[in-house]
Structure 1
Amino acid sequence: MTLTFSVADLTIHRIIEQETTFLPALEMFPELPPEVLAAERSALRAAQALDAQDTLILCFQSYVVKTPHHTILIDSCIGNDKPRARPVWNMKTDDSYMRALAAAGLSVDDIDVVMCTHLHTDHVGWNTRLDNDRWVPTFPNARYVIAQREYDYWVAQNAKAEVPAFADSVLPVVDANRADIVSDQFAIGDHVRLLPTPGHTPGHVAVAIGRGRDDAVFSGDLIHSPLQLCYPELSPKFDVDAAQAAVTRREFLDRYCDTPTLCCTAHFPSPSVGRIKRKGTGFACEAV
């Protein structure tokens, strides 16, 4: 299993919390025709993206990127001690995430910036940890970067009814004055830029990293499964705006197709990282 990648002056570490079955493909993608699944079944199984019962296999992970100037964590995964609807996430207490961080030679103190592609449960969980019945920032030296549109959307949702992940993994960071709520034009020096990719959530962003060019891009939940490379218009049931997500996804894939940019996906099975190539009317990810 490949956990570390190098490109230009960047080092990229995968920090895996879980790699496991998720939902049946036909449930995850309500508009997926059974005959299309049948046609792609063998390729998906060969890629370890689908099990024998047609359940999707997803990886839940963070990326840590070391630039010449910063150590940046992108999306903080699931987290511990948190009430969640999904049983394998609910009140979890394992040390898999922290062991993976240590295996990369890192501690929570080493992270300078935490960047959130969006604010769903499995992308913000380790933003905070439980300390004497209080949620405190897990990465004490980090600034937490959140896109303004994304933050505003979840403030409004939380005002209607409490959103657990927002309440325990985002608001405590804001209350601790560790959050930077930023515009879509936000950048860190000449190495880190946001790329607006709305649809999955209204303020979803990808993160592009590289000096003066996109050496690597982190797609967040713009793409969940290799199946969506073959059929970019296929949106999962979790997309807030499925039609917008489909347009954004194809634009993203067209932008990075047949370029040297490493595409670092949030949920593809290992190795999760590759370069986008054109394949017929769709795309493929050539693993590196």
Structure 2
Amino acid sequence: MNTTQSPQRMMLGDVEVIRIVEWRGAFAPARGLVPESGTDLWRANEEWLAPDHWDPDTDSAVMALQTWVLRSAGRTVLIDTGVGNGRERPGSPAFHHWQGDFLGGLARAGIRPEDVDIVVNTHIHADHVGWNTTDAEGEWVPTFPHARYLVPAADDVHFGPDNIQGSGRHPDDRLVYEDSIAPVHRSGQAVLWDGTHRIDEHLTLESAPGHTPGSAVLRLASGVDRAVFVGDLLHSPVQILSPSCNSCFCLDPAAAVTSRRRILERAATERELVVPAHFNGTGIVEVRREAGALTVGRWPTGGGPAVPA
């Protein structure tokens, strides 16, 4: 496992964007992660996929585990909170009893837990909600004591205890909800939303279901700059070239394709930078439309080169 110690900062309009990378490296076999992508798609784009997004020697998808922090309208907003330390995840060996330095990364960026005003969970999966809570003498409590936690209502229903049928849930999902979501409800800090939710004049949440029932994206518009933080709408850049290819984790494949096409087409039209949860490299990509197809443009870092925090 490779980690990065220096957060990166960039400006998009009046919004400061800070990237906290907790881990990066080879994650899974390429076609295991994106089953329908086909060998030819990766090989044809090897020149730019390797080494940041694909290791041709091992045929592994290379990814990052990261959180995007936005300083917007006087508030500090976290987009997703990683795996969390010391969790019971027997069905997910990579995350079982994970030990990372997420809080250290925030501290190096000058952010204390009590400074966080809003936590956005783009969806309820183990690697997006883990640091919602911390272990306080055997009890899971919210990590960010003053924050509102914005949780998609559809995911809260699907992964919560009232889903008696449990359709589409995995054994670990109950554990994830119990240690990372339920404590935020008990503290009164959870805010459930559906459809769209405006955070401030620059930031708006929007439902993009498919990966999970409540999967969401966050749109940023400030000055002339536009970006969309897409969570797990994308796991690999090959999905930009072929939006019909889902990851192995998408619960509703048809809906996921519909959401992915809609968000990517809009990004190309409106010149929104696309910021997925797990892209390695610069982490941000420009999507273009050429000859009627979507393609990868620049790999910008926002308002100029990212600099160490």
Q: TM-score category by the smaller chain?
A: over 0.9
1:180 aligns with 2:185: no
> Residue 287 of structure 1: which of 292, 299, 304 is its match?
299
Q: Does 1:87 align with 2:70?
A: no
1:49 is displaced (CA, Å) by 0.5
Quote how far apart the aligned CAs of 1:89 are: 2.0
The aligned residue for residue 245 of structure 1 is 256
TM value normalised by structure 2: 0.86
User: Could you give the per-residue CA deviations for residues 40-98 of structure 1, whole angstroms, max 9, x where no partner exists?
Assistant: 3343114x11112111011111111001231100111111010123334221234x212
Equivalenced residues, count: 286
Q: 1:164 aligns with which of 146, 162, 175?
A: 175
Q: Find out whether 1:146 has 2:157 as its counterpart.
A: no
**Matches of 2:239 and 2:61 in 1, distance apart?**
12
Segments of structure 2 that go 5 or more residues without pairing to the other structure are 1-5, 301-309
Distance, in Å, in 1 between the alignment partners of 2:253 and 2:21 is: 27
Checking the alignment, whether the CA contact within 8 Å between 1:230 and 1:279 is kept in structure 2 is no
What secondary structure, in the 3-state scheme, does the structure 1 residue paired with 2:111 have?
coil
Aligned mates of 2:196, 2:270 — CA distance in 1: 23
Paired letter, 2:288: K
What do residues 216-235 of structure 1 show as CA deviations (whole Å, max 9, x unaligned)? 22100001111111111110
Amino acid of the structure 1 residue aligned with 2:212? T
User: Is the aligned partner of 1:108 residue 2:108?
Assistant: no
Runs of at least 5 residues in structure 1 that lack an aligned partner in the other structure: none
Contact kept in structure 2, 1:190 and 1:212, CA below 8 Å? no
Q: Work out the CA distance in 2 between the residues paired with 1:197 and 1:217.
A: 12
Matched AA of 1:153: H
2:209 is aligned, of 169, 186, 198, to 198
Q: Which residue of the other structure, out of 211, 217, 234, is the alignment partner of 1:223?
A: 234
Residue 226 of structure 1 contacts residue 285 of structure 1 at CA under 8 Å; is this kept in 2? no
Q: Which residue of 2 aligns with 1:50?
A: 54
**Residue 3 of structure 2: aligned partner:** none
User: Residues 86 and 121 (structure 1 numbering): CA distance in 2 closer, same or farther, change over 3 Å?
Assistant: same
Report the equivalent of 2:39: 34
Deviation at 1:285, TM superposition (A): 4.4
- Residue 135 of structure 1: aligned partner: 140
Q: Does 1 or 2 have the higher relative contact order (CA < 8 Å, sep 6+)?
A: 2
Paired residues of 2:7 and 2:18 also in contact (CA < 8 A): no
In the superposition, the TM-score normalised over structure 1's length comes to 0.92
Task: Give the share of equivalent positions with the same residue, in percent.
Answer: 31
> How far apart are residue 100 of structure 1 and its match?
1.3
The answer to which of 98-107 and 125-134 deviates more is 98-107
What's the CA shift for 1:13? Answer: 0.5
Q: Please give the alpha-carbon distance, in whole angstroms, between the structure 1 residues aligned to 2:224 and 2:48.
A: 32
Taking the aligned partners of 2:223 and 2:204, their CA distance within structure 1 comes to 10
Q: CA deviation at 1:191?
A: 2.3
Alignment check: 8 A CA contact 1:24 1:56 kept: yes
Q: CA deviation at 1:150?
A: 1.8
> In structure 2, how many angstroms separate the alpha carbons of the residues matched to 1:213 and 1:164?
42
Q: 1:92 to 1:214 in 2, by over 3 A?
A: same
Structure 1: distance between partners of 2:162 and 2:232 = 19
RMSD: 2.0
Q: Which SS does the other structure have where 1:167 is aligned?
A: helix
Q: 1:186 to 1:226 in 2, by over 3 A?
A: same
Of 68, 75, 83 in structure 1, the residue corresponding to residue 73 of structure 2 is: 68
Deviation at 1:214, TM superposition (A): 6.9
CA separation in 2, counterparts of 1:242 and 1:214?
Answer: 31
